[in-house]
Amino acid sequence: MVRNMKEQIKNTKKYLRKQTLHTILEQFDDHLMQLSKSDRRLKYDKMKQDPYSFFRGSAYLFYYDVTKIPFTYHTSDYAPTWIMGDLHFDNHSGFQNEDEDIVFDVDDFDEGYLGSYLYDVLRMVVSIRLFSEQQGYNEEKQDEWVNTYLNAYYKQLKKFVEEENSPLTSQYTVENTKGPVKKLLKKLEDRQATHELDKLTYIQADGERKFNRANEKLEPASNNEYRDLMKNWHLYLESIDKECYQGDEHYQIKDIVRRKGAGIGSTGLKRFYVLIEGQHDNKHQDDIILEVKEARTPIPAYFFTYNEAFWESHNHQGKRVISTQQAMHHKADPYLGYFTINNREFYVRERSPFEKELKPNHFKEEKDIKKTVKVMGKVSAKIHARADEDIEHGLLDYHSEQQILAAIGGDKSGFKKEMIIWSSYYKDRVKADYVLFNEWLEEYFYKR
């Protein structure tokens, strides 16, 4: 009898969680995102690789869970932070900014929105655990590295509040980083300006550069897609910051292809590479590659308090994405812009030749992860404090770093303890959900 009751309880809990997973996947990927069956299969094939990939592709499940938990250190709904919305270990990279400095920073703003800073921190600390576990490190080491990240985040916020550093000018370069981040940035300094052009394009017999459609990352745009992009390109040009605009000839389109196979959460969104004329003394080096990517309503918006003021000024999803990047980066991409094609909203940014991500093989020793998460903690503090520059534009009338430290109060140790304990619990929740997800694929999705 006891054994039967135990199994009944266990199976009921499993059934209810799997039903929750089913409902969320169907609501977001089918009804809201309207992904085709083939796009969903592609996305889920990526997600089922390992628990960390599942976590990256299921941000909606994360927000469904964490917005129900009364964490101690939230900022008020009346004083939200501009958050990245999908902050995790892999959404950082090295790249060249507008001043041609090679920096390390966050690189994905598709889920940017206003809300408590804590959601970025929560998502980040879980990702540190999942990444570290994939590297073979135990719970004790994961605790240490989550603590390192939180220490760096808190200390950097204090430096901003005490005006020891400014979030408007702080950046992370070869000079002030260590370990894998420093090595990554040094490699980028040696990279050629034609790196991306050499990988993705070729020069025809007539001297014109075109995309190499034989590249596995590219596929031809349809005639309709090509035509629609050309027809609406002027809308993108009108959206570019006037101080950055370089004249119509600079943005003349030379070729268009579709980008395939990138990311997990963005699977199914339209994504193009556009080759434009640019300007350079050497006509074979003057071309610029722009990325045109479809934007949708950010996932946090479905779970946070509705912010009328935010949507009044960011009612175009492409504008919202580039505004997030401009808010968080010290020197933003001068090609940022947005436009609409057939009721689909897009944003535009440069596909920089000076961009490189950290890979698992960059972490050869324990100290490599520790040095990296320390930098990431500082970057997280910077993007949260940097984004309140919008005080000038009337969106925020306070400094986020002050609000965050006020929410933590004098209880730094309590803040860290809550994050360490909870991130360990939720890492195990992700691993259990990953098993249920794979069962759901076999029992339901693949049989549809």
Assess if residue 333 is contained within a domain. Answer: yes
Beta-sheet strands, E only, within 49-91: 81-83
Local confidence band at 268 (pLDDT 50, 70, 90 cut-offs): confident
Q: What is the pTM of this model?
A: 0.93
Residue type, 261: G
Helix (H, G, I), strand (E, B) or coil at 254: strand
Report pLDDT for 283.
52
Q: Identify the CA nearest to 126 among candidates 352, 371, 424.
A: 424
Query: How many Cβ atoms from other residues are within 10 Å of residue 413's Cβ?
Result: 8
Summarised one tens digit per residue, pLDDT across range 293-304 is: 999 999 999 999
> Which has the minimum average pLDDT: 60-74, 147-161, 259-273, 341-355?
259-273
Longest pairwise C-alpha distance within the chain? 84
Summarised one tens digit per residue, pLDDT across range 219-246 is: 999 999 999 999 999 999 999 999 889 9
- Given a contact cutoff of 8 angstroms between Cβ atoms, the answer to whether 326 and 388 are in contact is no
Burial of 379: CB neighbours in 10 Å, binned 0-12, 13-18, 19+ = buried
Instruction: Report whether pLDDT(284) > 50.
Output: no
Assess if residue 301 is contained within a domain. Answer: yes
Report pLDDT for 331.
76
Domain range enclosing 314: 195-355
Assess if residue 395 is contained within a domain. Answer: no
- Per the rule left: phi > 0, alpha: psi between -120 and 50, beta: everything else, 409 is left
Local confidence band at 390 (pLDDT 50, 70, 90 cut-offs): low
Instruction: Report whether pLDDT(324) > 50.
Output: yes
Helix (H, G, I), strand (E, B) or coil at 20: helix
The Cα 376–Cα 108 span in angstroms is 14
Assess if residue 374 is contained within a domain. Answer: no
Assess if residue 272 is contained within a domain. Answer: yes
- Per the structure block, which two tokens stand in for 372? 């990296």
The Cα 119–Cα 112 span in angstroms is 12
The Cα 269–Cα 346 span in angstroms is 10
Write out the DSSP string of 427-442.
HHHHHHHHHHHHHHHH
Q: How many residues does the chain have?
A: 448
- The per-residue pLDDT of the chain, averaged, comes to 92
The Cα 422–Cα 72 span in angstroms is 12
Top-confidence range, 18-27, 100-109, 309-318: 18-27
- Given a contact cutoff of 8 angstroms between Cβ atoms, the answer to whether 47 and 445 are in contact is no
Summarised one tens digit per residue, pLDDT across range 161-207 is: 999 999 988 999 999 999 999 999 999 988 887 888 889 999 999 88
Average pLDDT over residues 41-55: 96
Helix (H, G, I), strand (E, B) or coil at 248: helix
Assess if residue 269 is contained within a domain. Answer: yes
Assess if residue 305 is contained within a domain. Answer: yes
Higher pLDDT pick, 269 / 84? 84
What are residue 272's DSSP bridge partners?
A: 258, 292
Angle at 361 between CA 356 and CA 364, to 5 degrees: 120
Average pLDDT over residues 105-116: 94
Instruction: Report whether pLDDT(90) > 80.
Output: yes
Instruction: Report whether pLDDT(424) > 50.
Output: yes
Tally of structural domains, the chain: 1
Helix (H, G, I), strand (E, B) or coil at 94: strand
Local confidence band at 51 (pLDDT 50, 70, 90 cut-offs): very high
Average pLDDT over residues 308-313: 87
Q: Identify the CA nearest to 86 among candidates 380, 353, 442, 443.
A: 380
Assess if residue 411 is contained within a domain. Answer: no
- Per the rule left: phi > 0, alpha: psi between -120 and 50, beta: everything else, 219 is beta
Average pLDDT over residues 350-356: 85
Tokens 């400014």 — which residue?
A: 166
